[in-house]
Amino acid sequence: MSLLERLCHEADEPPYQPCTERAITAHLYRIINARAPVWQDGRKSSGIAGFGQSHLLRAQGKFHLTAIAQEIESLIRCYEPRLQQVSVTIVPHSYRQHQIHFEITALCGGREVCLPVCLDFNAGQLINPEAAGA
């Protein structure tokens, strides 16, 4: 949880408990929703200029889902070192209303975490599946 989230925490709610999984999830949304420039030669650096997703800018359809899933996986491997053995899979038959559902699985501190996410092509963002009405 970020400092801003902790400062906005309501006093009458249960006491603040740090949650690594929640922090990682928030970071993943920031990584994937950031936009990287589309380099001419297709190479990405591991610096701030390459931070974010570039395929979403040019691959706006279900026919490029494999490339998008591979890019999401490489972004997580590069920018989220707390996750090991990262795997991004497309949920079968989930393309509808310009949205596609993915499942991100990885090891975090020896424990397997599974994060269901939804990529909304209209908004150009990764969103929470509950917000997508899935």
pLDDT digits (tens, 9 = 90+) for 53-65: 555 545 555 557 7
Lowest mean pLDDT among 41-55, 72-86, 109-123: 41-55
Q: How confident is the model at residue 85 (pLDDT cuts 50, 70, 90)?
A: very high
What is the distance between the alpha carbons of residues 29 and 69, in angstroms, rounded to a whole number?
14
Task: Read off φ and ψ for residue 69, nearest 5 degrees.
Answer: -60, -40
User: Judging by DSSP bridges, how do beta strands 125-127 and 111-120 pair with one another?
Assistant: antiparallel
CB atoms within 10 A of CB 73: 17
Q: Which residue has the higher pLDDT, 111 or 3?
A: 111
pLDDT-derived band at 84 (thresholds 50, 70, 90) equals very high
Average pLDDT value for residue range 22-44? 69
**Average pLDDT of 60-72?**
73
- All domains in the chain, ordered by first residue: 3-127 (3.10.450.40)
Beta bridge partners of 106: 113
